[in-house]
Amino acid sequence: MSTGQKFEGSKPLKKHLNKLKCLQQQLSRKQKGSNNRNKARIKVARLHYRISCIRQDTLHKLTSHLSNNFAAIAIEDLNVKGMMSNHVLARSIADMGFYEFRRQLGYKSQMRNNHIEVVDRWFPSSKRCSRCHVINDSITLGDRVFKCNNCGLEIDRELNAAINLESTVSSTGFQACGEKGAGPDSCRDETGLNEAGTKPCTDLYTF
């Protein structure tokens, strides 16, 4: 987020993957129609269920936190389908429950009358320097730190992208808040104005 706060993506499947592989292997060795095969099948199903519960729980906590604390949220409209066709990324994206994240954030924000800004997927949020706005084309998915060849800025990659997204929202009339010390309550009241009294606050979540 543009405040510098980060949320770890929940990856329960990765964590439980070895256990799942092991159980599936056990299942495949059991004789068809046997009692033992049935028991093994139940174990696999239970673990699948547990993984989906952890995933749902983590996402609900995150989307509730976001929609309770921020009156405006900007997210990037990433090309999830395109990324799913990349086998290296596909499992981790599916595991993060991106679609579910968008769905939950959507209905929770609607309930609270929050503004959701979806930023064009072609906006170069990761490649643009958030200080001088020069594009750095050489940055790859593997680079965790954004380095600007023009002004020398070195900044966490996600933070750089979040600040870039924030600037797109600010330029459409929303102003960022979330300075340290300004609690969530100062960002939200019934009129939708912040303490400065003029504009709703914004915060950003990127993925």
For residue 122, the minimal CB distance to Zn ion (Å) is 20
**What is the rounded CA–CA span in Å between residue 25 and residue 1?**
41
Residues 88-147 that bind Zn ion (CB under 5 A): 129, 131-132
148 touches Zn ion by CB under 5 A: yes
For residue 79, the minimal CB distance to Zn ion (Å) is 26
Using CA atoms in the order 7, 19, 85, 108, what is the torsion angle rounded to 10 degrees? -40
The H-or-E segment that residue 21 falls in is helix 12-29
For residue 132, the minimal CB distance to Zn ion (Å) is 3
Stretch that binds Zn ion, among 4-12, 46-54, 137-145, 150-158 (CB under 5 A): 150-158
**What is the rounded CA–CA span in Å between residue 177 and residue 180?**
9
For residue 65, the minimal CB distance to Zn ion (Å) is 31
Q: Binding-site residue total for Zn ion (CB under 5 A)?
A: 7
CB of 71 or CB of 129, closer to Zn ion: 129
Beta bridge partners of residue 145, listed in sequence order: 156
CB of 63 or CB of 160, closer to Zn ion: 160
45 touches Zn ion by CB under 5 A: no
151 touches Zn ion by CB under 5 A: yes
**Cβ atoms within 10 A of the Cβ of 190, count?**
5
CB of 41 or CB of 131, closer to Zn ion: 131
- Measured CA to CA in angstroms, residue 132 lies from 32, 114, 150, 168, 191 at distances of 65, 30, 8, 15, 35
Among 153, 155, 182, 193, binds Zn ion (CB under 5 A): 153
CB contact at 8 A, 117 and 72 = yes
DSSP label at residue 58: H
CB of 75 or CB of 163, closer to Zn ion: 163
Choose among 199, 186, 196: nearest CA to 69: 186
For residue 153, the minimal CB distance to Zn ion (Å) is 5
53 touches Zn ion by CB under 5 A: no
User: Contact positions toward Zn ion, by CB under 5 A?
Assistant: 129, 131-132, 148, 150-151, 153
